[in-house]
Structure 1
């Protein structure tokens, strides 16, 4: 062949590979959007039950179509404090099982009896594109994305196979794979390097299956390459753990240890097998389905074998990554790591994590209101300073959460998730304003102390009454946000109306006391400004609750 023909074949192979991995990406996005709340419910299963962790890891990997993405998310969850190492072990094991699904999708072109995927792929892309661009229902558009991704996978594979076809009789290729089959170290190294470079074991297995479809790969070479691919897939998680907490680094190390131990066990076993009873089998050419079978057997067997030793993996990771995470001494820790970019690999989980942080911000704001109230009642300057310091934390969270929400909004979201993100933007603003009102009350408390003012017994009782009701209102709203419970919204409405009525009543009563010279004007200003702040706090609480109600429609 001429140089030009070689160049065109290289273009075809890399173009096909590009369509293949892009198809995987598009299909994964469609699956995630379609899964929506179902993926969200998986977080609730992340208990210390490792078996449930394996299930979650398997399902998530099937949806995101990448064990690397799942393990990167695991590192993010551990770094964010949403998952401990015991839970992480199960999810990592499940991720290895879930990644086998992609190989079976690819090999279906060999064993599918009717409507072979590689033959109908162009039509599938056409149907998907029609649904995506001409149908209005979001669910139908999501199905269209899945179909486009599915079709592109097989179109890409066909381009790759066609580019390799002229070389299927080349002795150099055959000799190279025979060498990899006879030297396990080089076979494992080849699988490791390719996977580390493309950052996806599913993609590297797809490349191997493409080569196998042309009759170039013997069983022994395929086995060792697949074993190397399972170590190579750990590189992504290890890289993502750089700069993370020690616990997150341990999660990445657990992934590496799990795959290394499994690879060592199978390497020894397969070497013995190919050197003895299976010597002839090692030279037999493997097909795409054969690769899927071994890939599945390896990952499931590895999980079954090492499952009882999960605690040992945790122990080893702690010995490799020593020391404890340094915690800040402040009572309220504003941890940017809670808004971990790794979790953006799955927008559904990222949305849930953002909700948790918004709730955390709300809890800080409520605590600040309580502290401000106590500061005024007790005239404690230390509490006033505590309010001011916590308000800085709330403002910092406001910026961090807003930045994170912007990042989430740039990921593929379902229609409902887009509504949630928009509402979270507004909720953060309302909670920041609640913090501002707490700061206002603290400033009034400082003035109250400085001027040595004193409320009348009636005013003090009324101050306590409206402050308790305002705090109850914002607590109900935050609970509704935390639990995604629109049934609490009517309670928030009732409570907010009580605060409004109280504010109007107490304002009138205090004006009457001023008129009767029962308290001075300066004290009156502090009282009236305070109850006005409580009324505004309840207004913001109602806004927060209405956003939850809006999402339920």
Structure 2
């Protein structure tokens, strides 16, 4: 019985689908009108009707077939016989012919292929017109996920491309930053090149604020670099203007293989840059696909229609929208990609896209403004200049917006520009939209830089008045820049180097103050003594900041040269902190001796002063080599270290001889020998700094 039941069930499962299929075919046959084809007729099939795509619940669509078949082989002036000969899914779209009009009744979701036939009974000529009818319902979840996914891939691609380019040109980037002078042309050039490599004006500006905060860069230099950064960030639009969107996914795959398997570091980071570029284009294509759905939604179309840049108020509204969006996303490159996606598929017109781009230039200043919180006065001035530069620029460009758009159109209509950009036909064509938006971005920043450039010094003085210097002396620190600088490890390692050099300068100052206190004799000056001890504590704090910063930095995926530089800086920071401890200990010995009611005689003070001057000169030589990145100093450092050891041995012998010639109190003897040992330790750690500079382990 069980076998019989299973057999019956199998037959039912086989026959039922077949029965449904036959019923469906019969139903379709009943829906379609009978063919009017005649034997020997001349047939042709042409694409006369566009595909119809409507939202679920849309009203009937009426098509005048007389106009559709006009001019076809079947049209000889005679009355045509029309029929529907094919409708694959009548449950999607019902068809009806009334007075040479095709009425499409949209039903449920799906797609159907419809063929309309026209027969000329006189010439026995038949022409078929085929088209696709689609009824769809918006999937908002799919739209959101596609756009968010595309945006995420786009941002990750920008990050990978930036890291790859930074790793390839790391040493060149550091050299460029060190070349920045008060020459504004040089500063603008450096800002442009650095931003083109790091692919973000926000990162460059935050980096500049950090350099000003640490004293590595002046306000005048920062102003030039910030203007250049605004020009350099426009390279993103021109990268997107490359018509290689279809190759984004293959580039991503090839770059991934090139990054995972080769052992050579240069190949790996070049592949990382290629992979990042592929992700940028792939993410852009995903965003375009997601926004393509928006174009067919009346509600969204009506919402986007509010942003009309054909009036001054409309331009300001669009600029405000671009500013807010960039403020939320924290990346002008991302909002530029979104703007290009919307404009390319026709959701927004070119004028609206141009106004959005202007607003994005204001929104990108928020990052540097946030970085200025708690920074020095000059650092805040640099951040405020970035805001002022973009805000004033957008203000005067929006005031002449129609003429600005006409200027760009005239610019693109120049023969050599059109040839260079590969633009054919009318500049208003969708194929040129990305190029036009990139031109809006570049022209705005170039023209704005030209306008601001002659007044840079005047603006610097204006900022000095608007942001006055604080009454108390400011001591810049690294703390507030560590997280942001991790986005650009090649530049971050340069920032930490500035902090290491500040430690070196602190040790040099402590040696100078110690010399003043030693030559004074008697009870040390309390104010200068406290100053020396405070500096030792400051150096302890800076070392902690450097260690924390470099520990986070070195945990990232970095090229070997950056890793080696980071390790050298960690060692140098530790050596300079040790030097400051021993300098402070020498002063403590003197204070303790004075508190006990004793003092060194003139000969001892003279001997220690001689040793102090020798060690201080040795330290200054090594610090100068660190500033100049002079690794060859190690040879001279070893020679001078041997001279210092010989001097210390001589002083010990002289001290022993002095102890036999006259009576010296034990406390004085301990203080003197302890000072000798501390100076030896200072010279030892100074030699370690020279070895770190020369990459000697």
So what's the TM-score if we normalise by structure 1?
Answer: 0.88
**Aligned match of 2:437:** 291
Residue 262, structure 1, aligned to residue 387, structure 2: no
Residue 429, structure 1, aligned to residue 574, structure 2: yes
Residue 455, structure 1, aligned to residue 601, structure 2: yes
**Aligned match of 2:182:** 48
**Aligned match of 1:502:** 647
Residue 152, structure 1, aligned to residue 279, structure 2: yes
Q: Alpha-carbon deviations, 1:259-280, whole Å to 9, x = none?
A: 222223222322357799989x
Three-state SS of the structure 1 residue aligned to 2:468 is coil
Contact kept in structure 1, 2:478 and 2:545, CA below 8 Å: no
Q: Alpha-carbon deviations, 1:140-176, whole Å to 9, x = none?
A: 2221221221111111111111222233344555555
Three-state SS of the structure 1 residue aligned to 2:524 is helix
**Aligned match of 1:220:** 351
Alignment CA distance shift 1:248-1:460 (3 Å): closer
Alignment CA distance shift 1:439-1:283 (3 Å): closer
**Aligned match of 2:477:** 336
**Aligned match of 1:440:** 585
Residue pairs, 1:510-549, within 5 angstroms: 510-517=655-662, 519-549=664-694
**In 1: Cα distance, 2:320 partner to 2:442 partner:** 20
Residue 130, structure 1, aligned to residue 257, structure 2: yes
Moved over 6 A (4+): 1-4, 273-279, 281-284
Contact kept in structure 2, 1:61 and 1:99, CA below 8 Å: yes
Q: Alpha-carbon deviations, 1:468-505, whole Å to 9, x = none?
A: 22222222222222221112111111111111122223
Contact kept in structure 2, 1:164 and 1:211, CA below 8 Å: yes
Residue pairs, 1:208-287, within 5 angstroms: 208-272=339-403, 287=433
**Aligned match of 1:112:** none
Contact kept in structure 2, 1:480 and 1:489, CA below 8 Å: no
**Aligned match of 2:508:** 366
**Aligned match of 1:304:** 450
**In 2: Cα distance, 1:40 partner to 1:15 partner:** 34
* Aligned partner of 2:144 among 3, 10, 27: 10
> 1:12 deviation in Å?
1.0
Of 16-25 and 356-365, more deviation after overlay is shown by 356-365
> 1:252 deviation in Å?
2.5
Three-state SS of the structure 1 residue aligned to 2:583 is helix
**Aligned match of 2:227:** 93
Residue 61, structure 1, aligned to residue 195, structure 2: yes
Structure with larger RCO (C-alpha < 8 A, sep 6+): 1
Of 461-470 and 11-20, more deviation after overlay is shown by 461-470
* Structure 2: gaps of 5 or more residues: 1-54, 56-135, 411-425
> 1:108 deviation in Å?
0.6
Three-state SS of the structure 2 residue aligned to 1:467 is helix
**Aligned match of 1:207:** 338
Residue 491, structure 1, aligned to residue 625, structure 2: no
**In 2: Cα distance, 1:535 partner to 1:543 partner:** 13
Contact kept in structure 2, 1:28 and 1:146, CA below 8 Å: yes
Alignment CA distance shift 1:391-1:33 (3 Å): farther
> 1:16 deviation in Å?
0.6
Contact kept in structure 2, 1:75 and 1:252, CA below 8 Å: yes
**In 1: Cα distance, 2:340 partner to 2:355 partner:** 14
Structure with the higher helix share, 1 or 2 = 1
Rg larger for: 2
Contact kept in structure 1, 2:216 and 2:498, CA below 8 Å: no
**In 2: Cα distance, 1:263 partner to 1:399 partner:** 42
Three-state SS of the structure 2 residue aligned to 1:181 is coil
Of 484-493 and 38-47, more deviation after overlay is shown by 38-47
Quote the RMSD (CA, aligned, Å).
3.0
Q: Alpha-carbon deviations, 1:113-160, whole Å to 9, x = none?
A: xxx3x2332332223222322222222222122122111111111111
Three-state SS of the structure 2 residue aligned to 1:486 is coil
Of 64-73 and 125-134, more deviation after overlay is shown by 125-134
Alignment CA distance shift 1:371-1:383 (3 Å): farther
Alignment CA distance shift 1:495-1:365 (3 Å): same
> 1:356 deviation in Å?
2.5
**Aligned match of 2:33:** none
Alignment CA distance shift 1:287-1:171 (3 Å): farther
Three-state SS of the structure 1 residue aligned to 2:472 is coil
Alignment CA distance shift 1:45-1:526 (3 Å): same
Q: How many residues align?
A: 538
Alignment CA distance shift 1:379-1:34 (3 Å): same
> 1:221 deviation in Å?
1.3
Contact kept in structure 2, 1:258 and 1:313, CA below 8 Å: no
Q: Alpha-carbon deviations, 1:423-476, whole Å to 9, x = none?
A: 22222222222222222221222244343334363x444333322222222222
Structure with the higher strand share, 1 or 2 = 2
Three-state SS of the structure 1 residue aligned to 2:374 is coil
* Structure 1: gaps of 5 or more residues: 110-115
Three-state SS of the structure 2 residue aligned to 1:382 is coil
* Aligned partner of 2:323 among 189, 192, 196: 192
**In 1: Cα distance, 2:276 partner to 2:405 partner:** 38
Contact kept in structure 2, 1:104 and 1:292, CA below 8 Å: yes
**In 2: Cα distance, 1:273 partner to 1:536 partner:** 68
* Aligned partner of 1:78 among 192, 212, 215: 212
Of 97-106 and 63-72, more deviation after overlay is shown by 63-72
Residue 39, structure 1, aligned to residue 173, structure 2: yes
Alignment CA distance shift 1:522-1:200 (3 Å): closer
Q: Alpha-carbon deviations, 1:496-518, whole Å to 9, x = none?
A: 11111222232233223323446
**In 1: Cα distance, 2:659 partner to 2:408 partner:** 102
Contact kept in structure 2, 1:24 and 1:153, CA below 8 Å: yes
**Aligned match of 2:294:** 167
**In 2: Cα distance, 1:440 partner to 1:37 partner:** 39
